[in-house]
């Protein structure tokens, strides 16, 4: 009889990231993974090259300089920051540390797929709460929590929908949860939010002992390939994460890149201004083609093509032009595609491709 893992492991399907290649197409424009439109900051590129000279040395296991740089940039206590191999690692460690067999993890129905996969890997019963107009339902999340619930995870803004839960609702969610439930606020897209009332999580973390905020360098900082994320939380939870993480879970190269990125003048302001402008232009152009574009506070748009067949046809048409976007049927959204806000040229290419006479969308718009 073969050696078998825990039964919950076999319920987990491997995560499939956004594609990056199309056979037979020379120029590829990848708009499937919400990567930063401008790539890494120049200072980070230089730091990555320089770090290669010391690649034979082990990194600082405590990521001291990086945590201090993050603390200075965001006005946070470095002692309450822990860094990871992307925020995905920290989310997994939190779920494994506070979840497990016999516990429950509550999430929004269209929340990030890794919460579900990691929760089942840990042995949790994962409860997905229906949304209202693709926005997390606070009353539903609170009502779904039972005696065995240990974790509630909310991405805000959410991926893949782009929806932002108002700050008053996030506060109401925390207030409605038991003290022994950890609320994880996944704020991967925080920099792109333009709502003046938005707080990515610092205030709720500081207000109690049961909320954690996770962040990433993969989006606005353009360092997805480096794998660098961080979490800010109560001292007790950060202590737990430091106990269970690997001793060298962040490479020296990633640390150097992150520190340098934070020092790049006006990088965030430039990136956010570009994203806001082209997110609006893409929305306007796609809406003019008769498509439904859901409101987004991220660096991507969720576009509804009306039917699963129409979404597949549009996806195939874009791929034929070398434009790779993300199908989201696995998120329970088979009629939609998620499109990253890329450069001005890339956004223009998407609109031109979908509006063309040879496009299934363009043909539909012409006959409307």
Taking Cα atoms as reference points, which of 310, 317, 271 lies closest to residue 291?
A: 310
Three-point CA angle 70, 71, 76, nearest 5°: 135
How would residue 8 be classed by pLDDT, with cut points 50, 70 and 90? Answer: confident
| CA pair distance 292, 163, nearest whole angstrom | 14
Looking at the DSSP bridge assignments, the partners of residue 90 are: none
Burial of 351 by CB count in 10 Å (0-12 exposed, 13-18 middle, 19+ buried)? middle
Give residue 17's pLDDT: 67
Residue scoring higher pLDDT (135 or 363): 135
Taking Cα atoms as reference points, which of 260, 340, 268 lies closest to residue 303?
A: 340
Looking at the DSSP bridge assignments, the partners of residue 52 are: none
Site of tokens 């990253």: 340
- DSSP, res 84: E
Q: Average of pLDDT values for 163-171?
A: 98
Q: Average of pLDDT values for 338-355?
A: 98
Helix (H, G, I), strand (E, B) or coil at 249: coil
Looking at the DSSP bridge assignments, the partners of residue 81 are: 232
Give residue 11's pLDDT: 76
How many Cβ atoms sit within 10 Å of the Cβ of residue 363? 12
pLDDT in tens, 215-227: 999 999 999 999 9
| CA pair distance 129, 115, nearest whole angstrom | 13
Q: Average of pLDDT values for 265-279?
A: 98
**pTM score, two decimals?**
0.93
Q: Average of pLDDT values for 162-191?
A: 98
How many Cβ atoms sit within 10 Å of the Cβ of residue 267? 22
287, 290, 296, 300 alpha-carbon torsion, rounded to 10°: -90
Taking Cα atoms as reference points, which of 360, 367, 366, 368 lies closest to residue 305?
A: 360
Taking Cα atoms as reference points, which of 126, 207, 130, 192 lies closest to residue 157?
A: 192
CA distances from 266 to 196, 203, 220, 221 (A): 19, 25, 12, 12
| Structure tokens that stand for 50 in this block | 């320089």
Half-sphere exposure of residue 133, counting CA atoms within 13 Å on the CB side? 8
| Structure tokens that stand for 139 in this block | 């009353």
| pLDDT, mean over the chain | 95
- DSSP, res 59: P
Contacting residues for 154 by C-beta, under 8 A, at least 6 apart: 107, 108, 111, 136, 141, 165, 170, 173, 183, 184, 185, 186
Ranges of beta strands (E only) in 78-233 are 81-84, 104-108, 125-129, 149-155, 182-186, 211-216, 229-232
pLDDT in tens, 179-213: 999 999 999 999 999 999 999 999 999 999 999 99
- DSSP, res 15: P
Give residue 54's pLDDT: 94
- For residue 365, pLDDT over 70 is answered with no
How would residue 296 be classed by pLDDT, with cut points 50, 70 and 90? Answer: very high
| CA pair distance 158, 161, nearest whole angstrom | 6
Contacting residues for 126 by C-beta, under 8 A, at least 6 apart: 104, 105, 107, 115, 116, 119, 120
pLDDT in tens, 311-334: 999 999 999 999 999 999 999 999
pLDDT in tens, 138-153: 999 999 999 999 999 9
Helix (H, G, I), strand (E, B) or coil at 307: coil
- Are 120 and 155 spatial neighbours (Cβ–Cβ below 8 Å)? no
């Amino acid at each position: 009889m073969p050696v078998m893992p825990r039964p919950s492991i076999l319920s987990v399907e491997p995560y499939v990231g956004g594609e990056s290649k199309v056979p037979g197409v020379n120029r590829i424009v990848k708009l499937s993974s919400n990567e930063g439109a401008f790539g890494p900051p120049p200072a980070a590129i230089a730091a990555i090259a320089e770090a290669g000279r010391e690649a034979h040395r082990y990194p600082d296991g405590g990521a001291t300089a990086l945590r201090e740089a993050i603390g200075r940039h965001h006005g946070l206590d470095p002692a309450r920051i822990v860094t990871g191999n992307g925020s995905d690692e920290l989310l997994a460690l939190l779920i494994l540390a506070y979840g497990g067999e016999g516990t429950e993890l509550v999430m929004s129905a269209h929340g990030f797929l890794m919460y579900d996969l990691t929760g089942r890997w840990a042995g949790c019963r994962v409860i997905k709460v229906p949304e209202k107009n693709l926005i997390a339902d606070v009353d539903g999340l609170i009502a779904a929590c039972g005696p065995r619930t240990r974790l509630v995870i909310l991405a805000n803004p959410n991926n893949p929908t782009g929806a932002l839960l108002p700050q008053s609702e996030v506060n109401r969610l925390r207030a409605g949860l038991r003290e022994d439930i950890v609320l994880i606020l996944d704020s991967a897209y925080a920099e792109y939010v333009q709502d003046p009332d938005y707080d990515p999580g610092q205030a709720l973390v500081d207000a109690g002992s049961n909320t954690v905020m996770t962040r990433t360098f993969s989006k606005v900082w353009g360092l997805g390939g480096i794998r660098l994320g961080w979490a800010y939380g109560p001292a007790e939870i950060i202590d737990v994460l430091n106990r269970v993480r690997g001793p060298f879970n962040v490479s020296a190269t990633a640390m150097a890149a992150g520190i340098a990125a934070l020092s790049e003048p006006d990088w965030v302001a430039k990136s956010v201004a570009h994203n806001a402008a082209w997110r609006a232009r893409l929305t306007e152009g796609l809406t003019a083609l008769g498509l439904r574009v859901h409101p987004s506070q991220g660096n991507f748009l969720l576009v509804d093509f009306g039917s699963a067949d129409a979404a597949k046809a549009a996806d195939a048409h874009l791929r034929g032009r070398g434009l790779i976007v993300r199908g989201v049927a696995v998120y329970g959204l088979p009629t939609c595609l998620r499109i990253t806000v890329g450069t001005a040229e890339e956004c223009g290419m998407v609109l031109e491709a979908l509006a063309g006479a040879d496009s299934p969308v363009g043909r539909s718009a012409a006959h409307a």
